[in-house]
Amino acid sequence: MHYDTDPQQPNIRTALTAARRGWWVFPVEPGGKRPWNGIRWSEAATNDVAEIRRHGWPRRANVGIACGPSGLLVIDLDNHDADGVTACSNLCARQYHESYRCDRRYCVPEMRWPAAYTVETPTGGYHQYFTNPGGLGNGTGELPDGIDVRGAKGAGGYVLAAGSVLDERAYPDKPDLQAMVSGGRRYEVYDDSPVAQLPGFLNDLLRRPTRNPNVLATRVLSARCAEWGSVTIARLNGELHKIKHAAPGNRNKTLFEAACRCGEMIAIGRIDPDTAEAKLVSAARGSAFSRGEAE
């Protein structure tokens, strides 16, 4: 593969920009996310600007940033397998309302993020760059689903730098994502603020060893919590009414949906599991279910 040594070429310019920030970089396959040509990225990474200028950069190769030696902890907000963007917005909004801002040109009104260097990914997610306070790796602690972390234990993880490009090669088994990056889409700087200190509440959540399903559900559903409050019983009675009056052919679906709604109320502590189960069973008994109690 040819190497570019002209600092005006996009790929080497991207590598030099990251290295000047003190970040350790290494080449990644063109259009994809894997290290270039099977290299050991943890050994190949460098932040030596002179070395990069001297040796150049593989043509069209993306630029990986090794988080460990760079002292970075990157919060990865996914936006396809799970909605980490909304989950993070809800989580942050519940913390320091006045400290978080929303750029309404780009994001949903509820979004509240820390002001930090942020990169928008080709598939609609975001990478937020923080300094690593020490001891944090790739574990997600008790952060909601859809939020991943690239940290610095050992070699740590890596992310692709702004300016890197993904195309169909990045997602060989995911046609929906291939469609999103068809023809090539670039990682773009979304917020050019300095790399920020990791907020204390995120640090605390990341240091917790395991995920608590109830805590996760509370955060993911936080947008709905405000409207439940004192109307929990009314919502429950509404679900029970649907069960009792479900039309033939639609009863199983109605019962399942009601159970899901009750599960949400249980998860945020609005009703206890025994009460929810008893009321669901009672409502089902009172309707014309074909197989009775077992169903």
- Summarised one tens digit per residue, pLDDT across range 240-274 is 878 888 877 778 888 888 888 888 777 766 677 77
Confidence of residue 118 (pLDDT cuts 50, 70, 90): very high
pLDDT given at position 209 = 63
Predicted local confidence at residue 218, as pLDDT:
40
Question: In the numeric block, which tokens belong to residue 14?
Answer: 């991207």
Average pLDDT over residues 38-64: 93
In this model, does residue 103 exceed pLDDT 80? no
Greatest mean pLDDT range, 39-48, 216-225, 271-280: 39-48
R_g over Cα of the chain: 24
Do residues 164 and 120 make contact, with C-beta atoms less than 8 angstroms apart? no
Mean pLDDT of the chain: 79
User: Under the phi-then-psi rule, with left for phi > 0, alpha for psi from -120 to 50, and beta for the rest, what region is 171?
Assistant: beta
- Over residues 177-199, mean pLDDT: 93
Beta strands in the chain (DSSP E): 3-4, 24-28, 57-58, 62-66, 72-77, 118-120, 126-131, 147-150, 158-160, 165-166, 185-186, 188-191, 196-197
Average pLDDT over residues 162-172: 95
d(Cα 159, Cα 141) in Å, to the nearest integer?
A: 19
Q: Say whether pLDDT at 38 is over 90.
A: no
Residue 27 in this model has a pLDDT that exceeds 80: yes
60: left (phi over 0), alpha (psi -120 to 50) or beta: left
Structure tokens at 256: 């399942």
